[in-house]
Structures are given as structure tokens and as C-alpha cells.
Amino acid sequence: MKQVGLFLGCNIPFNRPDIEYSARYILKELGVDAVDLEGASCCPAFGTMPSLDIEGWAAASAWNLVLADEKGIDLVTGCGSCYGSLNEAKHHMESHPELKEKVNQIYAKVGKEYKGTAKISNFINFLYESVGLENIKAKVKNNLNGLKCAVQTGCHNLWPSRAYPSNEDNTFYPKRMREICEALGGAAPHYSAITDCCGMGALRSNASDKSLALFKKKLDVIKEELDPDICVIGCSSCLLQFDGGQALLAEQKKLNYQIPALHLVQLTALALGADVDKVAAFAKIPLNGVINKIKGGN
């Protein structure tokens, strides 16, 4: 059985354990052994340590890559921030050997060494490349029945592209998630704001009103151009904005519609036969319409 290290990061196990449930479910269904990383740390995300202390960031990030190397496995994550930070830290250490040396000087005190063998994937690329669309199709139990999906890949699943081992042919015209949704039986058209930032991350911590305003601009485009059944999100941080952010905007009476939102692994888990109560246990926006459509209703 194929093995992969499940890098959960901070957000998923704390804020949205239903994404973790779904990730474990689909890996099992697809015949992949999910290896846990005991002692994993924060990635840490771009808005935190990388902005303040490059060495501290590299030491914290590389810690997770050392854990993967010790187990002889590669990693997969459902969080775009983790995907970006881990890959960027690895890229920085490869392109600046003095940084790698500094990190290893720090690690030597505790008997560790960063070698940089492990690769870091996200669930988009893992499903698209390591599993493959045909293998996913073969496992579908609940066809999405034409469910119209507005896809949000997430900035850090695309960029900084120089740091990534695998990526879209054109990062400003992402197709991989759309093709995965289609393999599950959904429809996933392109829309003009597909690569726009959702406003999550440091902006949400620093200026919540601006962050939500940026998100609403994107959501309005999605509503106007696609009017989808669901937003399908490739990053757990973006999902917090798409699900929780809509709830906040509704509370502030700044949003007069709602579009359900799920992470790509949650939608995949639904299509692969998982129970919706577990897959979307912590979703704020009801999924009744989505479930009816999958079951063949309107």
C-alpha cells in the first residue's frame, strides 16, 4: 500500500477537524496509508514568522521535513499556507546553503539533521497526479450529478511557483481542481476572479473589515458569473473565509445570499461515499441543497 505523511498543520485539527476526517477517509478509500507525524509543528504561515525572523521560520518549518525524512515518506497537506511555507522554506534552504547550514547548526544541539529529501504535496496535486483522475472516477459511489462548483485553488497552492515541485500549466488559469470536480461528476466552469485572493491570512488578523470586503468582491463575482451550487476550496485557510466569512458578512447584513462551501477533500469524501454529518460536521452554511442535488433532487 502506498504511504503518505498527513501534515495537518494548525488550522485543520483545531478549526476544521471535519477536513481531517475527510482526508483520512479518502486516503483509505483510495488505498493510501496515511502516516501521522507525531511532534509536527506549525509550518509557520507567511504572515507570521517569515515576515519577522527568516532563520526561526526555516528552523520551525524544516522540523516537519526532518520528521518526514526520518520516516522515509513524502507529505501531503490540505492547507495552502502549510503547502506554501514548507515548500518555500525548503526552496530557500536549497538556494541559500548558508541558511540550511545555520538551521543544521541549531539542530545539531538536539541531534537532528535537515537533509531535505521529503517532498511536500497538496491534496490538489496529490489527487491529480499521484492518484489520477481515472482512479478517482473508479471509486465514486455518489456521483455529483452535475453539481455546479465554483473552484478556489488558493494563492499559496499556486504561488510562489518557483518553490513548487508540481503545478498548473498556467497558474493564472488553474484547471486541476476543476478536472477533479468533473471526475467526481460535477461541473466546474472557469470564472474571471478564480485566482483572486480571498483575503484570509495576515490581512484577516490585521484588518478584518478589509479582509471580508476583499472576500465579498470575489464572492459577488462567483455569484454573478456562475451562481454555483457550492464553492469548492483547495485550502483550509480559504475555507475558513468562504464558510465562516459568509456567516460574518451575513451577521453584519452585508451579504444577502449564501453559497455552501467545502474543502476539496470533503467534496471528494462525499462522492466516495462518506457520511455528510461527518464530512461537514463543522460547516456553518447548510448543505441541504448540495445533498439533494447529489441524490438527484433539484
Partner 1 sequence: MLLSPNDAQSCLKCGKCTSGCDINRLDPSFIPHRLIHLVTMGMVADSISEYSIWKCSTCFTCSERCPQRIKVTEILWMLKEKAFKEGKSPDFVSKQSEIIKTHAKLFPISDKDNARRQKAGLPVIEEYPDGLANLRQILGDK
**How far, CA to CA in Å, does 21 sit from each of 78, 115, 263, 264?**
12, 31, 12, 13
Q: Give the single-character DSSP code of 163.
A: G
Mapped onto helix, strand or coil, the DSSP state of residue 75 is strand
Separation between Cα atoms, residue 193 and residue 225, nearest integer Å: 10
141 or 162: CB nearest partner 1: 162
Which residues inside 234-253 make contact with partner 1, applying CB under 8 A? none
What per-residue string of b and e applies to 242-276 under the rule 16 or more CB within 10 Å gives b?
bbbbbebbeeeeebeebbbbbbbbbbbbbbbebeb
- Residues ≥6 apart with Cβ < 8 Å to 62: 89, 90, 93, 103, 107, 114, 116
39 binding partner 1? (CB under 8 A): yes
- Residues ≥6 apart with Cβ < 8 Å to 56: 49
192 binding partner 1? (CB under 8 A): no
Count the alpha carbons within 13 Å of 41 in the hemisphere toward its beta carbon: 18
Stretch of residues binding partner 1 (CB under 8 A), selected from 138-146, 178-186, 263-271, 278-286:
278-286
53 binding partner 1? (CB under 8 A): yes
Which residues inside 60-99 make contact with partner 1, applying CB under 8 A? 60, 63, 67, 84, 92, 96, 99
Separation between Cα atoms, residue 171 and residue 157, nearest integer Å: 9
123 binding partner 1? (CB under 8 A): no
| Residue 88: CB minimum distance to partner 1, A | 9
According to CB under 8 A, which one of 47, 78, 186, 244 is a site residue for partner 1? 47
50 or 234: CB nearest partner 1: 50
132 or 273: CB nearest partner 1: 273
Alpha carbon distance, N-terminus to C-terminus of the chain:
40
46 binding partner 1? (CB under 8 A): yes
| Residue 27: CB minimum distance to partner 1, A | 14
| Residue 109: CB minimum distance to partner 1, A | 8
104 binding partner 1? (CB under 8 A): no
Q: Are strands 261-263 and 230-233 parallel, antiparallel or unpaired?
A: parallel
Which spans of this chain sit near partner 1 (rule: CB under 8 A)? 10-11, 13-15, 17-18, 20-21, 24, 36, 38-42, 44-56, 59-60, 63, 67, 84, 92, 96, 99, 106-107, 109-110, 112, 155-156, 158-161, 171-172, 195-197, 199-203, 205-207, 210, 213-214, 217, 278, 281-282
